[in-house]
Each structure stands twice: as C-alpha cells, then as structure tokens.
Amino acid sequence: MSSTARGARARARTEITAAIKEEARRQLAVEGAAKLSLRAVARELGMASSALYRYFPSRDDLLTALIIDAYDSLGAAAEAAHDAAAGAGPVRRWTAVCEGVRGWALARPHEYALIYGSPVPGYTAPRSTVPPASRVALVLIGILRDAHRDHGLAGPPLPADLRPEAVRMAADFAPDLPPAAAVAMVAAWAQLFGLVGFELFGQFNRVVEDRETFFRHAAGQLARTVGLVPPQQDGADRGEADRGRASQATGTGGDGSSSGA
Amino acid sequence: MSSTARGARARARTEITAAIKEEARRQLAVEGAAKLSLRAVARELGMASSALYRYFPSRDDLLTALIIDAYDSLGAAAEAAHDAAAGAGPVRRWTAVCEGVRGWALARPHEYALIYGSPVPGYTAPRSTVPPASRVALVLIGILRDAHRDHGLAGPPLPADLRPEAVRMAADFAPDLPPAAAVAMVAAWAQLFGLVGFELFGQFNRVVEDRETFFRHAAGQLARTVGLVPPQQDGADRGEADRGRASQATGTGGDGSSSGA
DNA sequence: CACAAACGAGAGCGGCGCTCTTGCGCCGCC
DNA sequence: GGCGGCGCAAGAGCGCCGCTCTCGTTTGTG
C-alpha cells in the first residue's frame, strides 16, 4: 500500500526522483563521478537547479543513492549469474559468479568505480549501503556453505594467531563455515575485486591481453584457495609445475577448466 | 650537469615546482584528490593562481605529477621492504614486500587512492607513469626469479587455452620465469592490491578486525599461489582446516607465518 | 473552504579551472 | 655596460559549479 498511489503528488515525487537518478547515471557513464553536476542534470531535465535540492539535499546524497543502486545492481547480477549455473558443481558456480561480477563491471565501469574505486575524501558510506554491498559476498558464502555441506572444504591450515579472528569472522557472517574457510573466503572476495579493478582501471594494459581467459583461470584458482576442489581428483597438483630449472614443459595437461562442458 | 645549477632562474623554477607539489600533497592528504584546488595551493603559497599555470599547465598535469611521485614512493617502499629481508627465504621476502606495500598504503591513503583508485573520467595515464608503476611488480618478479633459479616453483597447471597468452606474458616481462608462473604472478599482483584496497577503502569495516594478522596470512597464501613453498616445518598449528566430511589432504604443511620472528 | 506543506523558479554568494593581458625583473648578447 | 627579449607574477574576467534564500504557486487535508 505504501508504495503505490499514495496520491498524485507522491507518485510524481518518486517518478521525478527516478528520472533524476536515471539522468545522473547517464552522465555518470559519460563523464564519470567527478564531473557529475547537479546543474547539468537539472538542465537536462528542464528544471531549475535549485528545484533538484527538493529531492536530494546535496550532490553527495545523489551519489549515495547511485552507490546503493549500483551495489544492488551488481548484487543482482551476481545472483543471476549464480542461478544460471545452479545445477553445476561448486567450482563452476563460483567461477560463474566471478565472471558475472566481471561482466557487470566491464559493462558499467563508472558505476563500478563509484563503489569500488576511491571513496570520496571525507565521505564514509552510510549504513544503508551495507546490506546491498553484501550481496555478492553472500552469494559466494552460499556456494561455500553448500560445498562444505556436500563434500567438505579443503583449506590451508590456520596459523594460531589468526584463529580468534577467524572464529569471530565465521560467527559473524558465515556460521555454517569452518573458521579457516571464512578467512579464505574474505581474502578471495577482496582478491576477486583486485582482479576486476586492475583490469578495469587499466593496470593490465600492456600486461594481460586475453583478459577473458586470464580471468577465468584466475577465478578458478581463487576457487581452489577457498577450498573448492575441481571435479576431477586433485592429487596431480602439487608435484607438477617445474621442479628444477629447465621447466618450460609445464602445463600441457589441461586442468579441466579449459573444457567448456 | 643537467640537474644542478643551470642558473639561478632554473633552480628557482625547480624549487617552486617542488614547493607546489609539496603543498598539493599536503592538501591531498587532508581533503583528497577530488578537492585538490589549484587556487588553494596558490593561496597557501602566497602567489596568484594564474602564476601556478607557469609550472603545471592544468590541474590534471599536477595530478599526474603527483601520481608519478606516488608510484615512485610506493616502489621505493617495496624495494626497501624487500632489501630489509634480503637474506631470508623467498616466502619471507614475498610477504615482506606485501606488507611493505600495505604499510605504505595505510600511511598515505589518499596517495594510494590516487594511483589505485578510480582513474579520473576521460583521463588515461600517460606513458611516463608506466615505469614507476612497474617497480612493485618488478620486485615481486625478482623474488620469483630467484626462487625459481634456486628451488624451482610449484605452480598449478596451465589450461591449454591460456598457454599462448602465458607464453607471451612471460616473454614480455618475465623471461626467466615459466609461463605458468608469469600468469600466477600477475594474478597475485592484482590480488595483493585487492586486499590492500579493500582494507583501505573500508570494505573490511565490519568484516575484518585484526587486519594486520589477516593480511599477513593472506600474503602468505598469495606466496603459495605463485609457487613459493614455505619451509616445511610441522608446527603446532595444523590439521584444523575444516573437519567436515571428506576433508582431503589440505595442501601442504603449515605456512610458518604464525611464528612471531 | 481555508490553511499548511510541498514545490518550482529565480537571483545570488563564494569558489573553481582556466585564459588573456599587462607590466616587471633577470638573462645573455653585442 | 647597455639593451633587447624572455620568463615570470599579477590582475581581471569568463563560464561553470554547489548551495541558499526568497517568493509565488500548487496541492493535499482538516
């Protein structure tokens, strides 16, 4: 009841609010957050710049609204990518989510920069951004939970001095996961956005060319570090690579992630 | 001969240029890059704002100069951290560099944001930023090269479709490394800055509390993913992982980072 | 119907990046 | 040693910005 038809006035307000955000997002995509101008938005919408302050008390508040929307959009993309791979194994689902995040970021670089780039100087994100910001992490945690329930997780040991923190982390947001897995999960979460951010912000420019393939591989490795084991037996892993110097022969055997299946 | 005493005029110019950058860096640390104002810098230096354009043709050029300085400062910090651990094993040297990077970033959050945060809208970094930006990566590559020469590297296999790219990458900037190691290195490089960025930009706010310990552990794990194997020492902290069902094998022995020394 | 709240428009304040023009002082050259 | 020229600082000014205040109008409500 509260959302629809509480009078023409209220509906007009939500419509105008949406139009402002839409136009702002359009300018964001073109010019970037730094050059987003309230006056330009108002101009494009055919209203006085002062009128816009009836809807957003300041430029930063507009930005905050866009940030929340971006988090939600990214979260939805991650969830959609996960659902599209629902039937598959945990590694496949993991990489699907990672690729979903990457795809969203590549399609909306400025919105990605808005939420994972440098935060505005004195600005600290209000609490309202927390839940939408958690959605990607929740999807990843869900994959780990399922995998842990079904097969267990293969994680590295936990150093003694990290154990209390790990226990706290698991209790806080991943009660179904062993502490070591919670730690590995948070690290992988940050590392995922390191990969995406580096690609997006040009750090890979003369370094990585075939970024799609590179990312897929890296995401698969990330799955390993959180304890998800690829369908085929591991075991072959460790002794491999290149003992000694003249290695070069390394690789050859696909690790399974190369097969599309 | 070119650097010193090419006349009083020239020396005054370099001095003023340095003073401008210094003041700009001061304002950067206080307000952030978005609010850095040429007029404010000029005001603080007691000169007319227009005079400042004799030294930097635009605000973006000032920013670019600061970016290059920041890259160099970070690179120097990474090299210093590495040299301080020169005698140690590759894992210790790796984590030392990672912690050096983190320490630098925590001490200069705004300068870090300048180089690894969102790039300015239409702005693409000029070529002159490339060499200083590479210094951290070069240090890490050096560690891998040494480790590969001395003990070999234990990396995961390379999927067939990534092999051409991996060969190209190794040839381009790590000719002494096997292709798989070059790939793992670049991924770890990006992931390192993912960890640092998330901590710095508040993404860990209600997630990770003991960030120092968490980071040290994550950096150690990163060392493993690039094929650096920790000295095998069966310590007390082991066997935790998860105790789920088939908790297979759990990689190799302790990561040794738990010991304080 | 009357009234208060919400609203849109306009003017205006201080600050910004950047440009142009105007004088001045230092440099090298004859 | 005088002098022309160049580098330099300063001021005024343009168009933009975020934001505020005021004022007349619209609109939902008791």
What's A47's domain CATH number?
Answer: 1.10.10
- pLDDT band at A156, cuts 50/70/90? confident
Selected residue with higher pLDDT from B53 and A240: B53
Nearest to B228 by CA among B208, B209, B256: B256
State the pLDDT at residue A150.
93
Same domain, B47 and B161: no
- The token pair at A173 is 């947001």
Distances (CA, A) of A237 to A74, A247, A253, B90, B155: 34, 16, 11, 21, 8
State the pLDDT at residue B11.
79
Chain B residues with CB under 8 Å of A181 CB are 242
Total number of residues shown for chain B = 261
Rounded Cα–Cα distance for residues B171 and B176 (Å) = 8
pLDDT tens digits for A192-204? 999 999 999 999 9
State the pLDDT at residue B121.
47
State the pLDDT at residue A120.
52
Same domain, B39 and B73: no
Region of residue A229 (phi > 0: left; psi between -120 and 50: alpha; otherwise: beta): beta
Buried b (16+ CB within 10 A) or exposed e, A220-251: bbbbbbbbbbbeeeeeebeebbbeeeebeebb
Buried b (16+ CB within 10 A) or exposed e, B73-111: bbbebbbebbeebeeebbbbbbbbbbbbbbbbbeebbbb
- pLDDT band at B12, cuts 50/70/90? confident
Q: How far is A113 from chain B (nearest CA, A)?
A: 5
* Domain assignment of residue A146, yes or no: yes
A51 CB less than 7 Å from any atom of strand C? yes
Same domain, B35 and B146: no
Residue among B168, B203, B233 with most chain A CBs within 10 A, to mutate: B203
Neighbours of B249 (CB within 10 A): 13
State the pLDDT at residue B182.
98
Mean model confidence pLDDT for chain A: 86
Same domain, B26 and B105: no
Q: Residue B68: which H helix or E strand, with range?
A: helix B59-84
Selected residue with higher pLDDT from B118 and B185: B185
Same domain, B101 and B29: no
pLDDT higher than 60, residue B241? no
Same domain, A36 and A70: no
Selected residue with higher pLDDT from A5 and A171: A171
* Domain assignment of residue A237, yes or no: no
Domain count across chain B: 2
A36 CB less than 7 Å from any atom of strand D? yes
* Domain assignment of residue A53, yes or no: yes
Same domain, A14 and A97: no
Paired with B92 in beta bridges are none
Selected residue with higher pLDDT from B241 and A260: B241
Nucleotides of D under 7 A from a protein CB: 7-13, 16-22, 27-29
Neighbours of A156 (CB within 10 A): 23
Domain that holds residue B157: 58-231
State the pLDDT at residue A125.
66
Closest-approach nucleotide to residue B48, Cα vs C1': D10
Same domain, A115 and A208: yes
- pLDDT band at B230, cuts 50/70/90? confident
**Cβ-based contacts (< 7 Å) between B 42-101 and strand C:** 43, 49-50, 53, 57-60
Same domain, A62 and A37: no
* Domain assignment of residue A240, yes or no: no
State the pLDDT at residue A250.
37
Selected residue with higher pLDDT from A231 and B206: B206
Same domain, B137 and B86: yes
pLDDT higher than 60, residue A260? no
Same domain, B27 and B84: no
The enclosing domain of A75 has a CATH number of 1.10.357.10
Running DSSP on this structure, what letter comes out for residue B127? G
What's the whole-number mean pLDDT along residues A215-234? 87
State the pLDDT at residue A147.
97
Same domain, A15 and A45: yes
pLDDT higher than 80, residue B29? yes
pLDDT tens digits for A67-80? 999 999 999 999 99
What's the whole-number mean pLDDT along residues A91-119? 95
Task: Among A118-127, B69-78, B199-208, name the one with the lowest average pLDDT.
Answer: A118-127
Highest mean pLDDT among A113-127, B2-16, B57-71, B236-250: B57-71
- The token pair at A16 is 């105008």
**Cβ-based contacts (< 7 Å) between B 7-36 and strand D:** 9, 12-13, 16
State the pLDDT at residue B236.
40
Neighbours of B235 (CB within 10 A): 14
- pLDDT band at A256, cuts 50/70/90? very low
Rounded Cα–Cα distance for residues A188 and A112 (Å) = 18
Q: How far is A259 from chain B (nearest CA, A)?
A: 9
Compare CB distances from A225 to B186, B221, B239 and report the shortest one's residue. B221
What's the whole-number mean pLDDT along residues A124-146? 90
Q: How far apart are the first and last CA of chain B?
A: 47
* Domain assignment of residue B255, yes or no: no
pLDDT tens digits for B123-171? 566 778 889 999 999 999 999 999 999 989 988 899 999 999 999 999 9
Compare CB distances from A247 to B178, B198, B213 and report the shortest one's residue. B178
* Domain assignment of residue A238, yes or no: no
* Domain assignment of residue A1, yes or no: no
Nearest to B73 by CA among B30, B13, B135, B151: B135
pTM, rounded to two decimals: 0.87
* Domain assignment of residue A250, yes or no: no
pLDDT higher than 80, residue A62? yes
State the pLDDT at residue B110.
93
What's the whole-number mean pLDDT along residues A236-260? 37
* 3-class SS string, chain A: CCCCCCCHHHHHHHHHHHHHHHHHHHHHHHHCHHHCCHHHHHHHHCCCHHHHCCCCCCHHHHHHHHHHHHHHHHHHHHHHHHHHCCCCCHHHHHHHHHHHHHHHHHHCHHHHHHHHCCCCCCCCCCHHHHHHHHHHHHHHHHHHHHHHHHCCCCCCCCCHHHHHHHHHHHHHHCCCCCHHHHHHHHHHHHHHHHHHHHHHCCCCCCCCCCHHHHHHHHHHHHHHHCCCCCCCCCCCCCCCCEECCCCCCCCCCCCCCCCCC
State the pLDDT at residue A10.
84
